[in-house]
Chain A
Amino acid sequence: MKDASATTRMVKTGSGSPLERCARVFSQVLLLMLATVREIFDESAYQRFLAQRQLLSSRAAYALFLREQETRRARQPKCC
C-alpha cells in the first residue's frame, strides 16, 4: 500500500499555480480514500499476502488467502 504521509508532504511542498495545487490536493485525497476502502475491504491485505508469498493473483492464491483470513476474521467482533 502506498504511504500517504509521503504524498502529503509532497503536496505541502508542491509548487505551481493555485489551481494546480488544488487539483493535486484533490487527487491525493482521492488516493487516500481509495487506500482506506482498499484496506477496509481487504484488498490491501490480499496484495500484502501476494507480496509476502511472492505469488501472482490467481484463484488458488485467493483461496489460500481466504483460508488464512478465515480464523482471524472469525474472531473479530463487530460493534453494535
Chain B
Amino acid sequence: MPKPLPMLTWLLIALTGALAVATIAIHRGEQINAIWLVVAAGCTYAIGYRFYSKFISAKVLALDEQRATPSERLENGRDFVPTNKWVVFGHHFAAIAGPGPLVGPVLAAQFGYLPGTLWILTGAVFGGCVQDFVILLFSIRRDGKSLTEMAREEIGPLGGLVAYLAVISIIVILLGVCALVVVNALKSSPWGTFTITMTIPIALLMGIYLRRLRPGKVLETSALGFVLVMLAIWGGQWISQTPSLARCFTLSASTLAMVIILYGFAASALPVWLLLAPRDYLSTFVKLGTIGLLAAGIIVLHPTLHMPALTRFVDGSGPVFAGNVFPFAFITIACGAISGFHSLIASGTTPKLIRNEKEARLVGYGAMLAESMVAIMATIAACVLQPGIYFAINSPAGIVGQSPEAAANTISNWGFPVHALDMQALAQAVGEQTLYNRTGGAPAFAVGMAHIFSNSLGGHSLMAIWYHFAIMFEALFILTVLDAGTRVGRFMVQDALGHVLRPLGRTSWYPSILATSALIVGAWGYFLWQGVKDPLGGINSLWPLFGISNQLLAIVALCVATTIVIKMGRSRYAPVTLAPLAWLVAVTFTASWHKIFDADVRIGFLAHARQLVASHGNARLIFNDRLDAAVTGILVFMIALILIESAIAWLQVLSGRKEARVKESPFVATRFAAEQE
C-alpha cells in the first residue's frame, strides 16, 4: 500500500505544476513572472522523472541491475570505465548541452512564450528524454554500439546507410548554421571579435601551462584561462573605444565567414591540439559556469516576462522566421525538447561509462531534463526583453527596413512599440554600434541575460560586460562545436571512403586528411556563405533546415528504438517510442513540405526561386533556394525509406513471419551487485 506522506508530496507537486502551467497558459494581456515557468518546468520534470521514466524502466526496458554493463565486462581504463552515476550524469550533460537549447527557444519566442514553453515541457518528458534513455540503454546492451550500427543490425542495411547519411547531413547543416550564428553575433562588433580572437592566445598559453608547468591539471588551467578570458572581455571595452584599434576588429559578415571557414579547415587538417584541447576545456568550463549562473540569476531575480503569451506571428508571418506555429515552432526548438543529435552521444561515450543498467534512467532521462531546463531559461532570457526590442534585434533588414527609423516604425506598427533612440541607447549600454538586424538568436539571448544580471549584479554599468560575456560564452562553445564537428565529419567520410579506396580510410594519411577536411568544411562553409549573403539574414532559411534534419535524425533513433522494443516482445509498450515518432513524422514531413512547396515566398524555397527568376534576380540566390529544396527533399526521402523498412520489420515480427531476435550481448551477471550485498 502506498505511503501517505510521499503520496501527498507528489499530489502537492502535481497540483503546483498544474497551477503553474494553467497560469502561463491562461494569462492574456498581463505580464507574468518568470518564476511560473520555472515552477511549471520543475514540477513537470519531477513528475515525468518519478513516474514516466520509472514506468519505462520497469515495463518497457525491464532494466536489470543484475546484468553486467560493458563498462564492467570490457573495462580497459580508457573507453570502458565503470563510473559513478552522478559523474556520468555530469559528463553526459556537458556533452549534450550546446548552443541549440539557447538559440532555438530565443528564435521561437517570436510566437510568444507559450508555444515554446509547452513544447519544451511536453517534448522533453514524452520525446527527448525517452529517446535519450532508450537509445542509451540499447547501446549499453550492445557493448556501446553507435546508432548507425544499431540501425544496420536491428532494422537492416538500408537503415544503417540512411542513418549514416542522416548523421553526415545533420553535421554539415548544423555546422553551417552554428557558424552563421557566430558571424551574426560578431559582425561589426570589435569588442566581441577581440574577445573571441583573444581566446586563441589564451588557449595556447593554457596548452603550454598544461603540458610544461602543471601536466594534467586541467581544472586549474581552465580556471586560469577563465580569468584571462574575463580580462580579455574587460580589455575589449577599451579596444572598442579606441578608434584605431576598433577598426582592426570591426569585421564584415563576409570577412568573418571566411575567417571561420579557414579556422574550421585548420582545426581539422592541422595538428593544432595545443590550441584545440585547452579551448575545449575552457569552453566547457565557461558553459557549465554560465548555465549555473543563469539558473541562479533567474531564480533569485525572478524577472517579469514582457513578451505576450501569444503574438500575432502564430499565423506564420513572423519576421524572425516565416511559418505557422505548427509545424515551425516544433522544428525551431529541437535541443531542449527532442534532438536527434543526442542519440549520437547516448550511443557514443556515455554507454561505456555506465556502471549499472538502473543508472541509465538518471543519465539518459535525467540529463535531458536538465537540458530542457536550459531551454526554459533561454525562453525566459528572450521574453524578459520588451517585444519591440526583441523584434528589432532579431528581424533582418530585408523585412523591417535598412535605417533604424524605418525598422522602429515597422516594428511599432506590428503593435510592439520601439523607438530608434531607445535602441541606440541600448546598443551604447551594451557597447555595440547597433543592435538592429542581429539575427541568429545569440545577440538577443545575450541582451536578455545582460538585462537579468544588470538588475542586480553590478547594475546598469556592468550591462556591457554581461552582454559581451554572454556573446563570448556562446561564440566560444559554438566554435568548439564547429572544430569538433568538422573532425567527426572528416573521420566519418574517411571511414566510408576507406571502403572504396583503402588509403583514403587511413586517418593519418595527409592527402586524405586534406581532401576530406576540405570536403566537410566546403560543405558547411557553403551553407554559411549562403546564409551570410541571404538578404533575409540566412536564419529564415537555414535554421528550419537544421531543425528538420535534427528531428529527422530523432526519427531514425526512434525507429531503431521501436524496432528493438517490438523485437523484445514488448509491443504493447511500443507507443512509448511510437507516439513521439508519429509526432515527429507529422512535424518534420509537414515542415519539409512547406519549406519546399509553400507558395509564400518567405517560406517555400521553390516559390522564392520562382520569384527571383521572374524578377531576374541573383542567379546564386536562385541556385541556393533550389539546393535547399533538394537537400530537404533528399533528407525526407531517406527518412521515408527507413520508416518503411522499419514498419515492414515491425509487421513481420508482429505477424510471426520473422523471428524476433534482438542483437544484444549475452547476459553476464554483474559482480558489483554481489559486492553491494
Contacts and interface: CB of A to CB of B under 8 A. Distances in A.
A57 B485 contact: no
13 contacts: A32-B84, A32-B86, A40-B91, A65-B216, A72-B79, A75-B488, A77-B488, A78-B95, A79-B96, A79-B97, A79-B98, A80-B178, A80-B339
A36 B277 contact: no
A37 B90 contact: yes
A75 B88 CA distance: 19
Contact of A36 (B86, B100, B171, B217): B86
Interface in A29-80: 32, 35-43, 45-49, 51-52, 57-59, 61-63, 65-66, 68, 70-80
A23 interface: no
Interface residues of B, number: 58
Given A40-B284, A76-B348, A59 B215 contact: yes
A10 interface: no
Nearest to B355: A5
B96 A36 contact: no
B48 to A, nearest CB: 21
A76 B219 contact: no
Given A72-B78, A77-B485, A79-B341, A43 B83 contact: no
Contacts of A48: 77-78, 81
Nearest to B507: A71
Contact of A75 (B81, B85, B215, B491): B491
A5 B84 contact: yes
Contacts of A61: 215
A79 B81 contact: no
| Dominant secondary structure of chain B at its interface with chain A | helix
B215 A40 contact: no
A23 to B, nearest CB: 20
A79 B491 contact: no
A4 interface: yes
A74 B178 contact: no
A41 B281 contact: yes
A1 B211 contact: no
Interface of B: 77-79, 81, 83-91, 94-100, 171, 174, 178, 210-212, 215-219, 222, 273, 277, 280-281, 284-285, 288, 334-335, 339, 341-342, 344-345, 348-349, 480-481, 484-485, 487-488, 491, 507, 546, 550
Given A32-B86, A41-B222, A59-B215, A79 B77 contact: no
A42 B218 contact: yes
Interface residues of A, number: 41
B345 A79 contact: yes
Contact of B211 (A35, A63, A68, A80): A63
Contacts of B341: 77, 79-80
Contacts of B507: 71
A5 B94 CA distance: 22
A43 B90 contact: no
Contact of A58 (B88, B215, B280, B342): B215
A56 to B, nearest CB: 10
Contacts of B348: 76-77
A76 B285 CA distance: 18
Contact of A79 (B86, B88, B216, B339): B339
